[in-house]
Structure 1
């Protein structure tokens, strides 16, 4: 089968012919990939940022945002059947460790992470497990939902955590309304009563944000201008700032947009949050990390999607154009999410 494989860090991945995966255990599920999302995390993987954390064995297949149709199931699988349309939670969790017992799939002690530390879904067939697959309404097409498996799940997870304090009259500021952020905006509009302000460098991204739930938009020309505009819009700062960028200065700007006792939700990554401890104490502000999301979060997000409350804005590429999609993402030409589709699903 065809698969997009990373052979060395800092180099472009290549489209290789590799053997199809097989059922190896009773809980395994094979999926004919209908679509695989392209994420900024993939850029960081190619750069080598994930090597010290996940130690993948190169070469391996990229793709951690995957949806498709069940091809085959292990002997113990009963929650899906051959032919079902499914989206995959990014991690294949064990179900037995303390984190799994609490429903915190992303912190499973025995998980594999397809596309991060084992072969992923930028291929024609993916091996996952029964705990990862979410059966979808057959009306949902894999190419329309695949990126929700990570980008959507991560964005929804952060919003879901913050929802209890985003009451009527509260203000949420979203930094970055691209691949993750535009899903975060829709999630905020769907499950909270907050007034939503979006900050972005792209006028196209801001235009989209205004169409999907943002009440205010701010073009990020300079940090000082953004601080002033947000202070005026929010009446003194945001209750929650969702930083979907996490690098290139956004991680330093975010705390400046908070009111006292506000929270900086870090979702994007790559930079370094730097705050004087006296400021954290005197303002009683919080910095909160967000890692992917739970299986339940993904089920809830799929419910919102089937209800039409969350929609992915995508650019579709054939699998063999993976490097074109990567170049478009790196250059900022992509608005929304890049989706790779194998020939059999085109």
Structure 2
């Protein structure tokens, strides 16, 4: 099969021929990829930022946002059959550790993470296990939802935390309305009645956020903190969900947060520097977010099937992966880029 493999950090991956994966264990599932999301994390992987964290040995196949059709199953697989359309939870988990038994499988101690620490879905086929497979509603197509497997799942995971605490009439700031942020706005609209303020540099991203239901849009032109404070009566928002996490976004976001507010860190790359006395006197909370659980993904697929969450995508043939990565790096992708084998 064809696969996009990274053989050396800080170099462009290559499209090569590799052996087809096969179901060798009873719970294995091999999926024919119908769409693989192109994520900013892939850029960070190529740059070597994940080298120590993942411990992956090069070369390997990129791609951690995957959906397609079941191609082959192990002898003990139930619930899905060859030909079923599916989306894949990013992790292939064990089901036996404490975290899995608690339903917190994103923290499974024996998981593998296709596209991060083992071969991913920038390919024609991908092997995972049945615990990662969510069957799609007949109204959904793999290429249309693939990026919900990570970008959507991460956004849902963070927004669900925030929505539990947000009351009607309160305000939430979304920093970044790109690939993750535009999904976050939709999930907020579905799960919460809080007033949504979206901050972004891109006029196109802000226009999309407004289309998706944001009450206020704020251009990040140097006046964004004052603009948000004006919209919140000078107090700041009850919650800030930061889908950027670098380039000054964190400092701005903290300044937009009210006393006893919650700051949800989703994007990364920057550094959180807050005097501890400010955290104590204002009683602000910082919450990290790493993708989400299998149940989170299943719930997100319900919203997708109901038409409450939809991806705005740009598709590329698998062979045009380099163009997709470049477009993402240059900020030229509206919504999410999807590779289609």
Q: Normalising by the residue count of structure 1, what TM-score does the alignment of the two structures yield? A: 0.97
> How far 1:8 moved relative to its partner?
0.8
> Is 1:274 equivalent to 2:285 in the alignment?
no
Once the two structures are superposed, what CA deviation does each residue of 1:290-328 show, in whole Å capped at 9, x if it has no partner? 010011110110000000000000000000000000000
Aligned residue in 2 for 1:143:
143
> How far 1:138 moved relative to its partner?
2.3
> How far 1:96 moved relative to its partner?
0.4
Aligned residue in 2 for 1:289:
288
Equivalent residue runs for 1:161-200 within 5 Å: 161-200=161-200
Equivalent residue runs for 1:246-261 within 5 Å: 246-261=245-260
> Is 1:226 equivalent to 2:221 in the alignment?
no
Q: Normalising by the residue count of structure 2, what TM-score does the alignment of the two structures yield? A: 0.99
Aligned residue pairs, count: 340
Aligned residue in 2 for 1:102:
102
> How far 1:251 moved relative to its partner?
1.7
5+ residue gaps, structure 1, are none
3-state SS of paired residue (2:127): strand
CA–CA distance in 1 between the matches of 2:268 and 2:193? 27
> How far 1:139 moved relative to its partner?
2.3
Question: Structure 1 runs of 4+ off > 2 angstroms?
Answer: none
CA–CA distance in 2 between the matches of 1:10 and 1:317? 22
3-state SS of paired residue (2:204): helix
Are the equivalent residues in 2 in contact too, given 1:168–1:193 (CA < 8 A)? yes
Are the equivalent residues in 2 in contact too, given 1:66–1:149 (CA < 8 A)? yes
CA–CA distance in 1 between the matches of 2:208 and 2:329? 20
CA–CA distance in 2 between the matches of 1:329 and 1:247? 16
CA–CA distance in 1 between the matches of 2:65 and 2:321? 14
CA–CA distance in 1 between the matches of 2:291 and 2:164? 19
Once the two structures are superposed, what CA deviation does each residue of 1:71-113 show, in whole Å capped at 9, x if it has no partner? 1110110021111100000000000001101111110000000
CA–CA distance in 1 between the matches of 2:250 and 2:52? 22
3-state SS of paired residue (2:33): strand
Q: Root-mean-square deviation (CA), in Å?
A: 0.6
5+ residue gaps, structure 2, are none
Aligned residue in 2 for 1:304:
303
3-state SS of paired residue (1:131): helix
Once the two structures are superposed, what CA deviation does each residue of 1:123-177 show, in whole Å capped at 9, x if it has no partner? 0000010000000112211110000000000000001111121110111100000
Once the two structures are superposed, what CA deviation does each residue of 1:186-243 show, in whole Å capped at 9, x if it has no partner? 0000110110000000000000000001000000001xx1111101112221111000
Aligned residue in 2 for 1:129:
129
